[in-house]
Structure 1
Amino acid sequence: MKKQRSTRAALVRFAQVATASAAFALIAACGGGGDDNNSTPAGGVKLQVVSFGDSLSDVGTYAPVAAANFGGGRFTTNPGQVWVQNVAQYYGDTLTPAMTGGFGVAPTNQSGLGYAQGGARVTNPMGIGHATDPNSYAGALTVPVATQVQNYLAAHGSFNANQLVIVNGGANDVLYNLQLVKAGAISQADASTAIITAAKQLGGIVATILQHGATHVLVSNVPDIGTTPQGTMSDAVTRAGLSSASIGFNTALDQTLQALNIKSKVIYLDTPPKLAQITANYQQLGFTVSNTGTACNLKAMAAAAQKYGEPNPQDFATSLFCSPETLTVAGADQTYMYADTVHPTTHLHALYAQAAEQTIAATGLGK
């Protein structure tokens, strides 16, 4: 570990809690992101991919710091890709960050179309891990999904029919508000209201994307966070709360898309039933460990941080810092479902990408 203490300390405090739809457990029978460089990509049609969301779809916003110091860089079993990168490859594209920075590094606009950022909420700029001072770059950037879309429009003006626009979000709003309940800062009723509001706002963001020319929009809802290791390793009350809040968000999102008369205009991934199915059949899908363990050796990662004198070594127990050297066992990126207690492994990301590709193909796009 290198000794960029202040930057690293801010980064790990963020990574301990930064999450986004951490389940990613979708059953898939065929397909997958490929490296086909032919004129016709594996997906049967060439598409430019644009992605908005949180850590689930973050292709490397914080990699300049995390990768340089730890060999990590994305919220998975690094150097594995996240699902949106696999989908982009399947349609003949390469997805890179639209912005990098944070944790002491000023944000820099990049040329990529991967706008998703770990820790981002739907509309609130003070996402998980953001510095208290909004003018400071000491914490995570957490540009919210709504602003991500506005940043894209400011730079590009509109979407077009040759693009696949991917949208996810909401899990950080679920976790953020449940953390406030646990701390006694707000009531459960207030948390539920805030979560439902975020879902309605995400529906409105999808409408904005459609209004600005997008014709292929994939919307991924929030999986049942209560069935991830974070839930299964918690007490029954906490687990039930995570599940209830996830379902509440998804219900409000679905109702909003229908009320806006745009549900039929998007490609919708309903993740909770898929998650339940893959968890029940994880061995048939090539996993040896489902939602009962983590591919990253979190205890060893925390112990190493303690050895180097970090005041909060447990903060290092997250997939953002995970590399082949910190896996629980060799090949765990393929045999475990979860990298840490909330984020998917490389294998699980690949399965989610396949499910997305199949759902898209069912609309008649590509093959």
Structure 2
Amino acid sequence: MKKQRSTRAALVRFAQVATASAAFALLAACGGGSDDNNSTPPGGVKLQVVSFGDSLSDVGTYSPVAAANFGGGRFTTNPGQVWVQDVAQYYGDTLTPAMTGGFGTPPQTQSGLGYAQGGALVTNPIGINHVSNDPANYAGPLTVPIVQQVKNYLAAHGSFNSGQLVLVGGGANDILYNLQAVQAGALSPTNAGVAIATAAGQLAGIIGTILQNGATHVLVSNVPDISMTPQGMMSTPAVRAQMQQVSKLFNDTLTGALTQSGLISKVIVLDIATPFANITANYAQFGFTVSNTGTACNLQAMAAAAQKFGEPNPQAFATSLFCSPETLTVAGADQTYMFADTLHPTTHLHALWAQAAEQTIAKSGLGK
């Protein structure tokens, strides 16, 4: 009972600020998902998919605890998939976590190639609500930063190869982390902008490392405009303006760094901010009944249930990591709402993200 209370308490601490905060395989060479079906997948070519990033690409790092206790497991409308899983299926692969643990459970290396972790920043190892790296007292989330995710992959597999599609997406947590510091009065807007731009440049450097170690097919997704999320819509006009400015700053800096380093011609850049803006403006045409003004997960009911069970901070459970079919706002909300919680896409919106990625990849000539 004491261990269970400790685990749930750790989940509370993380959920308070959990955020966003992304060809042609010799599968045995790199491990991970496999496919025994020799038929051609929808993408036109078999690919082993490797992904690095944050909660927007996390395929289930915290699922052993979140699923067991709440029926959740990923930062979306569970049991739905996130975009990197959809892309993997499109190319005949199955993407599973490379590591699981946290919240009282020591990190455990798994066989999957999904390295993204909820709460992860680009280079800072102290991610969102990070507590400790001590396996004997691992109370919080893992939040392994993207730079370390890539190092962990290389330590386990040696290199990338021409039989892989590498998906990279990050920066949303760096944006939110620094904006939170501004709102708390701990950081000036100017210094926050510098930190966010620095993270974008660092992500470009990480992409360079991936290419230098054998990757030939790399998709880089930038960040959506955070001001267009429900959290942005609920913020003051001044905060919304800041969200919009720094989202654009991150994306422009990332593109600029890739261009200046000569990497832009070696990667496939997915400007996800553009299709997200189009979907938001024309949400009904994409099958949604609610755009960025509501959440598919009934966050109030989730908090109320936690309060009923005596949780000291029930509002902390109002996040998609703990969302299940039983806690949806209405039946089918995973398909009719754009957002699961105030930051993370629903299953349907993740599927559209994946389609945008697949179309961008096809334009590059891969799979034709």
Distance 2:242 2:258 in 1: 24
5+ residue gaps, structure 2, are: 23-34
Distance 2:211 2:63 in 1: 31
Work out whether residues 36 and 42 of structure 1, in 8 Å CA contact, stay in contact via their aligned partners in 2.
Answer: no
> In angstroms, what is the RMSD of aligned CA positions?
1.6
Distance 2:45 2:274 in 1: 29
Q: Which amino acid aligns with 2:253?
A: A
Q: Which amino acid aligns with 1:213?
A: G
Distance 2:258 2:324 in 1: 39
Work out whether residues 21 and 176 of structure 2, in 8 Å CA contact, stay in contact via their aligned partners in 1.
Answer: no
Q: Which amino acid aligns with 1:50?
A: V
Work out whether residues 121 and 169 of structure 1, in 8 Å CA contact, stay in contact via their aligned partners in 2.
Answer: yes
**What is the SS of the residue equivalent to 1:93?**
coil
Q: Which residue of 1 aligns with 2:156?
A: 155
Structure 1 stretches of 4+ moved >4 Å: 35-38
Q: Which residue of 2 aligns with 1:353?
A: 354
Q: Which amino acid aligns with 2:203?
A: L
Q: Which amino acid aligns with 1:94?
A: T
Share of identical aligned residues, percent?
Answer: 77
Q: Which residue of 2 aligns with 1:273?
A: 274
Distance 1:115 1:54 in 2: 9
**What is the SS of the residue equivalent to 1:283?**
helix
Q: Which residue of 1 aligns with 2:304?
A: 303
Q: Which residue of 2 aligns with 1:320?
A: 321
Given the superposition, is the C-alpha separation of residues 308 and 21 from structure 1 closer, same or farther in structure 2, using an over 3 Å criterion?
A: closer
5+ residue gaps, structure 1, are: 23-34
**What is the SS of the residue equivalent to 2:168?**
strand
Q: Which residue of 2 aligns with 1:5?
A: 5
**What is the SS of the residue equivalent to 1:251?**
helix
Work out whether residues 57 and 82 of structure 1, in 8 Å CA contact, stay in contact via their aligned partners in 2.
Answer: yes
Q: Which residue of 1 aligns with 2:67?
A: 67
Work out whether residues 123 and 144 of structure 1, in 8 Å CA contact, stay in contact via their aligned partners in 2.
Answer: yes
Q: Which amino acid aligns with 1:7?
A: T
Q: How far has the Cα of 1:271 moved from its partner?
A: 1.8
Q: Which residue of 2 aligns with 1:236?
A: 237
**What is the SS of the residue equivalent to 1:166?**
strand
Q: Which residue of 1 aligns with 2:17?
A: 17
Q: Which amino acid aligns with 2:333?
A: A
TM-score using structure 2 length:
0.93
Q: How far has the Cα of 1:288 moved from its partner?
A: 0.2
Q: Which residue of 2 aligns with 1:29?
A: none
Work out whether residues 121 and 143 of structure 2, in 8 Å CA contact, stay in contact via their aligned partners in 1.
Answer: yes
Q: How far has the Cα of 1:13 moved from its partner?
A: 2.5
Distance 1:246 1:212 in 2: 29
Q: How far has the Cα of 1:16 moved from its partner?
A: 3.2
Q: Which residue of 1 aligns with 2:193?
A: 192
Distance 2:83 2:145 in 1: 20
Distance 1:324 1:4 in 2: 23
Q: Which residue of 1 aligns with 2:255?
A: 254
Q: Which residue of 1 aligns with 2:246?
A: 245
Q: How far has the Cα of 1:37 moved from its partner?
A: 4.6
Q: How far has the Cα of 1:12 moved from its partner?
A: 2.8
Distance 2:45 2:55 in 1: 27
Distance 1:281 1:254 in 2: 27
**What is the SS of the residue equivalent to 1:64?**
helix
Work out whether residues 21 and 225 of structure 1, in 8 Å CA contact, stay in contact via their aligned partners in 2.
Answer: no
Q: How far has the Cα of 1:275 moved from its partner?
A: 1.4
Q: How far has the Cα of 1:134 moved from its partner?
A: 3.9
Q: Which residue of 1 aligns with 2:120?
A: 120
Q: How far has the Cα of 1:5 moved from its partner?
A: 2.1
Q: Which residue of 2 aligns with 1:80?
A: 80
